[in-house]
C-alpha cells in the first residue's frame, strides 16, 4: 500500500469497525483525469447504502482534518463487491476453495483469463483447479485475481 492508502486505512479502520463492518481495502487511483479515494468495506450479511453513508459522513471530516492528500480528489465509500479483487495473503486464505478468475498480462495457450477453484497461494503464485486439473500461475504473470460468480 502507498503511504496515502496506509494513512487513510489507519483512520478508517476504527470507524468502519464501530459501524459493524470490516475494512477490505483503500484505493487511491486516477481515472479519466480525476483522483479517487475509495474506502472499500465488507459486512457479514451484506453492506447497505446506509452503512456506506454513515461511514462516509464520519470519515469525511476526519480526512479533511488529517489532510493525507494534498490534491483534490473524489471520496467514495463502497462495497468490496461480490467479485472483489484478492490482493493480500489473508484474502487468499479467506477464500481458499472459492471460484476465482485470473487475468494474465500475456496470453497462455491463447487465453488471458482463467476461471477455477482457488487451491493454493504461495508467495504470490496462485494455483487453481479447473476441469479436474490444477494449474499454477506465477506472481509476475498475474495481472488480477478476483472472486468469480458463476451465473
* pLDDT the model gives residue 18: 97
Question: How many angstroms separate the CA atoms of 143 and 127, rounded?
Answer: 15
Residue where one domain finishes, among candidates 79, 101, 129: 79
Q: Give the domain extent around 26.
A: 3-79
- At residue 146, the pLDDT reads 96
Question: What is the reported pLDDT for 95?
Answer: 95
- Among 24, 48, 79, the domain-final residue is 79
Q: Taking the chain (151 residues) in consecutive chunks of 10 residues, what is each chunk's mean pLDDT?
A: 87 96 94 96 94 97 91 94 92 96 95 96 96 95 94 77
* Number of Cα atoms under 13 Å in the Cβ half of residue 1: 15
Q: Please state whether 26 falls in left (phi above 0), alpha (psi between -120 and 50) or beta.
A: beta
Inter-residue contact 88 to 9 (CB < 8 Å):
no
Q: What is the CATH number of the domain that holds 26?
A: 3.30.300.70
Residue 67 lies in a domain: yes
Amino acid at each position: 500500500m502507498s503511504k496515502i492508502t496506509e494513512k487513510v486505512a489507519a483512520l478508517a479502520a476504527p470507524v468502519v469497525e464501530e459501524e459493524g463492518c470490516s475494512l477490505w481495502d483503500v484505493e487511491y487511483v486516477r481515472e479519466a483525469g480525476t483522483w479517487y479515494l475509495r474506502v472499500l468495506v465488507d459486512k457479514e450479511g451484506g453492506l447497505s447504502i446506509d452503512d456506506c453513508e454513515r461511514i462516509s459522513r464520519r470519515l469525511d471530516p476526519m480526512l479533511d482534518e488529517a489532510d493525507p492528500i494534498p490534491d483534490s480528489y473524489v471520496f467514495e465509500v463502497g462495497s468490496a463487491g461480490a467479485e472483489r479483487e484478492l490482493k493480500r495473503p489473508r484474502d487468499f486464505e479467506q477464500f481458499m476453495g472459492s471460484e476465482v478468475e485470473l487475468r494474465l498480462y500475456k496470453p497462455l495457450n491463447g487465453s488471458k483469463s482463467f476461471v477455477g477453484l482457488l487451491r493454493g497461494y504461495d508467495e504470490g503464485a496462485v494455483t487453481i483447479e479447473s476441469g479436474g486439473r490444477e494449474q499454477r500461475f506465477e506472481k509476475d504473470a498475474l495481472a488480477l485475481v478476483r472472486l468469480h460468480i458463476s451465473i
